[in-house]
Amino acid sequence: MRTSNHLIGVLNFLTFLLSVPILGGGIWLSSRANNTDCLKFLQWPLIIIGVSIMIVSLAGFAGACYRNTFLMRLYLVVMFLVIAVLIGFIIFAYVVTDKGSGRRVPNRSYMEYYLQDYSGWLEERVASDSYWGKISSCIRDSKACARMGRNFNGLPETADIFYLRQLTPIQSGCCKPPSDCGYVYQNETVWNPGAGLMGANPDCTKWNNDQEQLCYACDSCKAGVLASLKKSWRKVSVINIVVMIILVIVYIIAYAAYRNNRRMDNDEPYGEARMTKAQPNEESIE
């Protein structure tokens, strides 16, 4: 019995440690939301799941140490619910970030992003007027575009050097006009109309050299936010999948140890029922 309690205690300590990367992923998404991604409600499910696993693990650890049956039952029930919620969150994250990716542009190292390549719940959420005003204001305040500037020996980088840069989705979508608009590079965030006609892309008329406007009203900026969110969520989802698999294995072992504890508390031999029907003894009858 003591061995089973020690095993359950060790397993709960392990689940406590596993809650750290989940909580860390939520905090990382929160920092991304404040600095770049700017969609601030998405990190809370992970933070809540991580904190829940921590609390439940402590309850299970206490239940194992003090042989508290109620805490052990609570641990198993709540941990099952937490695993189910984590699986649901992983599926949700992959479904809402399933569509959309950047497009390659000739003679450019960076990719460009188009809102029509995205669809679904997340795209509708980001593109809605009620949310986009807050998101674009967050991007502006994050100074993502202002940080693009580079100087070489006191001189700004040339267009040829800029075209070789690996821009983030938000830098590509929000801080410069789309390439098919035909704007001429002056510096990273200042582009002048070209000699020819602008492209058919509606974003061409939305670009503004005013550093407070740039392409924050462009669909390409919305697509850049979606692409950035997709990258962030996919990174966190990989960690969540690994943690979820380990949690399931730990839960199965903990449940088996809990069953064994109950059996030993009831003085049941392993593999046999607690009570057996007494058979009459013929010799005693005689």
Tens digit of pLDDT at every position of the chain (286 positions): 445 566 777 777 777 887 888 788 777 766 765 555 576 666 677 778 888 888 887 777 776 666 666 777 777 888 898 889 889 988 988 888 888 889 999 999 999 999 999 988 888 888 888 889 888 888 888 888 988 988 887 788 999 999 999 999 999 999 999 999 989 999 999 999 876 667 788 999 999 999 999 999 999 999 999 998 888 888 778 888 888 888 888 888 778 777 776 666 565 554 444 444 445 554 444 4
pTM of structure: 0.76
Q: What angle do CA 86, 49, 251 make, to 5 degrees?
A: 60
Task: Give residue 236's pLDDT.
Answer: 78
Q: What angle do CA 257, 262, 264 make, to 5 degrees?
A: 95
DSSP for 124-185 reads HHHHSHHHHHHHHHHHHHTTTTGGG--EETTEEPPHHHHTTS---HHHHHHSS--GGG-PEE
Phi (first) and psi of residue 158, to 5 degrees: -80, 170
Rounded CA separation 261/35 (Å): 50
**Tally of CA atoms within 13 A in the half-sphere of 233 that contains its CB:** 25
Write the CB contacts of 68 (distance below 8 Å, at least 6 apart in sequence): 62
Task: Give residue 183's pLDDT.
Answer: 93
Rounded CA separation 112/285 (Å): 93
| φ/ψ bin of 107: left (φ > 0), alpha (ψ from -120 to 50), beta (otherwise) | left
Task: Give residue 274's pLDDT.
Answer: 43
The SS3 call for residue 186 is strand
Rounded CA separation 163/167 (Å): 9
Write the CB contacts of 27 (distance below 8 Å, at least 6 apart in sequence): 43, 47
Rounded CA separation 285/188 (Å): 103
